[in-house]
Structure formats: C-alpha cells, structure tokens
Amino acid sequence: GIQVEQSPPDLILQEGANSTLRCNFSDSVNNLQWFHQNPWGQLINLFYIPSGTKQNGRLSATTVATERYSLLYISSSQTTDSGVYFCPVLRMDSNYQLIWGAGTKLIIKP
Amino acid sequence: ETGVTQSPTHLIKTRGQQVTLRCSSQSGHNTVSWYQQALGQGPQFIFQYYREEENGRGNFPPRFSGLQFPNYSSELNVNALELDDSALYLCASTPRDQKVADTQYFGPGTRLTVL
C-alpha cells in the first residue's frame, strides 16, 4: 500500500526560528493535507493542498505531486507551534481512507 | 474549536472487557470516521459511517464495531479488549456532501488504557 514518510522525525528549535518539514509519499494520491496535533491530542487542519502552494500567516505549504512530496514551512516559530505535524494522503482508489505517516514532532523552546 | 466532542476523555479498562466510546458531530455532518492512534504513531483508519451505514473499513478485526445515529452522534464499540488496544481514539466528521478527505473536523479524542 501507499507509504507516507515524514522528516525529520523530531525537531527542536528556539522561538523565532524558521523550519521546513517534509512529507514524501510513495504513490499518486488524490489529495494531501497538513494537520497540527497539539500536545493535548487535538488535530487541527492547516492546509488542504493536493498541489501548488498555499500560505496562511506564518505557515505555508507546497506540494509537488509529480515528484511525490510536500513541504510545510513555519516561519518565526512560537511555542504554540509545538506538537506533531502530519500530512495524510488519500489513495487514488479510495474516497475516504486517509493514510498517515508517523509525523514530525516539533518542540519550540522559549 | 472544531464542533466535535468525544466522551469520555480518559478510560481505563481491563483485558477482555468491552468499551463504548462516543462522538458528537456538528449538525449536518453526515459522515463520521474513527481512528486509532497508538503512542508515537499516526492515526490508523478504523471505519467510516455515512448516514448510519458503514461506508468503509480499515484493517481492524470485527470486534471493533460502530453505530451512527440520526442526531449526528456516533459510537465506537470494542469487544474483548486487548492490551494493544490502548491508544487515543479519534473521531472526525465531514460536512454534508463534501468529500471526506477535503474537510475533516477532529474531536479531542478518548485515551483508552487497557490493563
């Protein structure tokens, strides 16, 4: 089945730093999303981004579907950015089953 | 706030017992999906319900079952609990007539510990 690999697995940064999180997927997908899971477990949608580039404040994302990867950029990190970031994808032969990787755990130190 | 609530927040059970977890979606959200998230891993898809019928299932045994009710609430039932069932259980709802994967709103989860 399709595999989702995220890197780095862990990232520790000082407040104010910038970061890039990467998501590789092994097969063509219908779409890709980025989620942030806060330390209490709540998952929040960040982007729905099957292709192209989107920006929302300090966050932006780019997906290059032909090369099977997506990047999430976080600028001027804040302690509230801490948590785990996921990039689930939807298989081409499915309209409901998201496939998730293990995530990138981000810790922002004050 | 996603408008999706789950209960209970935490639960401790012993091996072999049965458990029911509950989820309440926003009005108009006809589709609900359930996920299991083990510690340090990404969520794993259990199943999805659409208009009170199972609409898709992941690689989970039949002792994982669900129900969806007309009032936009749903249940996840797990029979014969095993130690490996210890995890965070998440439900996610999708607005009417929207593709599941476009917009999913997650609840805060129920953390189940099986001793």
Q: What is the pLDDT of residue B113?
A: 97
Distance from C-alpha of A67 to C-alpha of A27, rounded to nearest angstrom = 10
Six-digit token pair at A46?
A: 């960040």
Q: What is the pLDDT of residue A22?
A: 98
Q: What is the pLDDT of residue B102?
A: 62
Radius of gyration of chain B, Cα coordinates, nearest whole angstrom: 13
Smallest Cβ–Cβ distance between A41 and the set B42, B100, B108 belongs to B108
Chain A residues whose beta carbon lies within 8 Å of the beta carbon of residue B102: 31, 48
Is A45's CB within 8 Å of B108's CB?
Answer: no
Q: Which residue out of A96, A97, A105 would a mutagenesis test of the B interface target, given it has the greatest number of B Cβ atoms within 10 Å?
A: A96
Q: What is the pLDDT of residue B100?
A: 52
Q: pLDDT 10s digit of each residue in chain B, 115 long?
A: 778 999 999 999 999 999 999 999 888 888 899 999 999 899 999 999 988 898 889 999 999 999 999 888 999 999 999 999 999 999 998 876 655 556 788 999 999 999 9
Q: What is the pLDDT of residue A102?
A: 95
Tell me the per-residue pLDDT of A66-104, one tens digit each, with 9 for 90 and over.
999 999 999 999 999 999 999 999 876 766 788 999 999
Chain A residues whose beta carbon lies within 8 Å of the beta carbon of residue B109: 41-42
A8 upstream amide cis, omega within 30 of 0: yes
Is B101's CB within 8 Å of A30's CB?
Answer: yes
CB atoms within 10 A of CB A57: 8
For chain A, say whether B21 makes contact (Cβ under 8 Å).
no
Instruction: Tell me the backbone φ, ψ of residue A79, rounded to 5 degrees.
Output: -60, -30
Nearest to B19 by CA among B3, B44, B36: B36
Tell me the per-residue pLDDT of A10-63, one tens digit each, with 9 for 90 and over.
999 999 999 999 999 998 887 899 999 998 899 999 999 989 999 999 999 999
